[in-house]
Each structure stands twice: as C-alpha cells, then as structure tokens.
Amino acid sequence: EIPAGARVGVLGPNGGGKTTLFRALQGEIEPLAGKLEVNASCATVQQTDRSRLDYPVSALDVATMGTLAGLPWWKRPGRAEKRKAREALAMVGLEEHARDHFGSLSGGQRQRVLIARTLTSGANLLLMDEPFTGLDAPSEALLESLIDRLAGDGKTIMIATHEVEQASRWDLVLCLNKTQISFGRPAEALSRPVLEATYGGHIVEIPGQPELGVLPAHHHHHDGEPEEANR
C-alpha cells in the first residue's frame, strides 16, 4: 500500500517490468496474477526524448492537452482550460515560457512542461518513467525540488529508474525484476541481497563514493556492449 503524497522509487534493470507496472496502473493491461487496486486518477509523465520536438506547439499548448480528458470529444479547450494550463506552468516555474516553442526549451524545461500537462488532467498519481534521463545537474535539482513540492501538495509520485543512488532519495522503494523483490524504506529495501537479486549480478563498492555500484551478471545494451556499473 502506497500512501497519498509518497515519493516512490521504482528500481530495476531495463526490461525488469517498470514500464509494464506503469501500464497496469493506468489500466492499459491487466495483471496476469494478483490484484492491483488504484484509488487515484493516474497519468504518466513521458520522457522528453519520446516527445515530438519538431511539432509546432507552444509550452502552453502542451500543458493544455492535459485538459482534453475532462472535455466532451466535440469540445475544444477554451479560456478556462487555458487558465488551468497557465496555472500549471506557473506551478512548475515556467509561466514566462508559455508562448515558447516546446522544441526550443531545454530538456529540463520540457520535462517540467510535461509535468504541467499531467497536472491539468487532474491526476493525483503521477508516473514518471526515467524523468532524470539526459538532464544536467541544475535541471535535475529543479526537477527533484518540484517532485518534493508536488508530494507536499498530496500528489503521489512514482519514479522509475535503474540507478540505485537515485532510488534511495525517495520515501519508499519498490525493487522489480520480473517480480517484486522488495518494497519499503530505502534503508531496508536496498540491502545488498536485494540489489543482487534485482540486478542478477553482484555489488561493488566504488572508491571515493558513498553509494554502491551494481555489476549485472549478463546485462548488455542493444548494441552488444556491456553496460557500465549503475550508480
């Protein structure tokens, strides 16, 4: 059970089931076994690199798209929806970029616009699939601060990642690799045996760094090159 306002890291290797879990939470697929109960309206925040950057839309247009779910199919967004989108952009710190072309924004700004889109949908369970991918340190800090504020407002946020250090920042951690390995507070859920079971490899300590690295036993990129240790 995940309480309202919790920040939950969903940790696992590529292909471990993180995206499948998110699809099940949204009702796109049915669980093959067990029971999944969602007592919240749910929306996924896309990765920015999956978004069409050449499509001629503004940040305000993208944020307004989230209101479509609450409108009849024949109705277009009007002033009320645009106002809600502006409020969402202000919440993520991008009100002054409302008229900017979405594709002209930085990766971190685009990520925050996509979060604004989920906010205009009224969702109170936000599913973020690798949201920190490709962000520089300042953008990552801004996004983490935004996640903290949204959780403080009662939004439940699940953040998929394959990085152990990143998962350890949140209130709760769910470790997956085709099945649930562990779930709980980071101090308990990220033990050495759990990480070894999650990644199917072994744990190494990285000199000069406090976190552990995970060396998967048989984990390769699609091009056949071995993956570096996750940190």
- What pLDDT, on a 0 to 100 scale, did the predictor assign at position 204? 56
CA distance 40 to 6: 13
The pLDDT of residue 50: 53
Q: How far apart are CA 130 and CA 19, in angstroms?
A: 10
pLDDT on residue 32: 76
Containing H/E element for 82?
A: helix 79-91
Q: Which of 183, 185, 184, 181 is nearest to 193 (CA)?
A: 181
pTM of the model: 0.81
Distance from C-alpha of 118 to C-alpha of 121, rounded to nearest angstrom: 5
The angle formed by the CA atoms of residues 193, 196 and 199, to the nearest 5 degrees, is 150
Judged by DSSP in three states, 190 sits in coil
Torsion of the alpha carbons at 36, 2, 6 and 15, rounded to the nearest 10: -50
Nearest to 69 by CA among 1, 119, 15: 119
pLDDT in tens, the chain (231 residues): 899 999 999 999 988 999 999 999 988 888 777 777 888 789 999 776 555 667 789 999 999 999 998 888 888 898 999 999 999 999 999 999 999 999 999 989 999 999 999 999 999 999 999 999 888 999 999 999 999 999 999 999 999 998 899 999 999 999 999 899 999 999 999 988 998 899 886 565 544 444 555 554 444 444 444 444 444
